[in-house]
Amino acid sequence: MYLPLRDKDGQPINTEMFNAMAEQVVEKFGGLTMTPLLGNPVYDGFWKSPRTKKTVRDKNSVFTIFVPQEEESVEFFRDGKKK
């Protein structure tokens, strides 16, 4: 799960959101491994904005989670992506 460190306007995302997501994942799946929110490794991300058609660059932290490939797991991450 790649989590951007800044919102679409370039403002830092409150780290409490990361902590809340980590708690939800641990509660649901029993654990996770994540990269630091600051320092290294933080990953560069690139994506094309559907609205402006321009390439946007962002910095990401990564949550690594091993989960059963079941509909309930898929729904959990779809809902998380919306948040």
pLDDT in tens, 41-59: 778 888 888 889 988 888 8
Rounded Cα gap, residues 64 and 35, in angstroms: 9
pLDDT score for 9 = 82
Number of structural domains the chain divides into: 1
Predicted TM-score (pTM) of the model is: 0.65
Residue 37 has pLDDT above 80, yes or no: no
Rounded Cα gap, residues 74 and 83, in angstroms: 15
**What average pLDDT does the chain have?**
84
Give the torsion sign (CA, 40, 41, 42, 48). positive
State the residue range of the domain holding 21: 2-82
For the chain, the 3-state helix, strand and coil shares in percent, each to the nearest 5, are 35, 30, 40
Rounded Cα gap, residues 34 and 52, in angstroms: 31
Residue 83 has pLDDT above 80, yes or no: no
User: Residue 2's closest CA among 32, 38, 45?
Assistant: 45
